[in-house]
Amino acid sequence: MPETEYDHGAGDIVTLNDRLTAIGGLLIRKVEVFEKSNWNKSAIPDVGNYEGKIGDFSTLVIENTLYLFGGADIGTNLNEVWKYNSDLIREWQKETPLIYPMARHRSVYFNNRIYHFSPQG
């Protein structure tokens, strides 16, 4: 598999519509999709609609919708929630924010609920 163009080390990688999708990373909002033996940088737009950068977030895919929770932008933890629906809208939409800003956390979808586990207490 060829390398991605961007450093997704502090980001995440998920399977969306049977394709590997690399999101964010070392303070970037770039998204790359692995298809036809190459990484496509234009299949999904960058996360969000502002100039900030993001890393250390968590992601989930629920019914072909990709969710991104929290993260950090140059030392500031975020409470952002973004979703990307690959079947309908095909653009990132900002959702109701998390109650608390979180970074370096994990999110799990279980019994129709989303749980966030944060090391920050």
Q: Which amino acid makes up residue 59?
A: T
Higher pLDDT among residues 65 and 121, named by residue: 65
So what's the pLDDT on residue 97?
96
Of the candidates 47, 51, 41, 50, the one whose C-alpha atom is nearest the C-alpha of residue 11 is: 47
Distance of CA 42 to the CA centre of its chain: 16
What's the pLDDT band for 83 if we cut at 50, 70, 90?
A: very high
Tokens of 67: 């969710």
Is the pLDDT confidence value at 3 over 80? yes
The position carrying tokens 């929770």 is 69
pLDDT at 27 over 60: yes
- How confident is the prediction for the chain on average, in pLDDT? 89
CATH architecture of 12-117: 6 Propeller (2.120)
Q: Edge-to-edge strands of the sheet including 12-16?
A: 12-16, 19-23, 31-35, 38-40
Between 66 and 87, residue with greater pLDDT? 66
Q: What secondary structure does DSSP assign to the chain, as a single string?
A: -PPPSS--TTSEEEEETTEEEEE--SS---EEEEETTEEESSSSPPSSSSS---BS-EEEEETTEEEEE--EETTEEB--EEEEETTTT-SEEE-PPPSS-B-S-EEEEETTEEEEE-TT-
Single pTM value for the model: 0.89
Banded pLDDT at 49 (limits 50, 70, 90): low
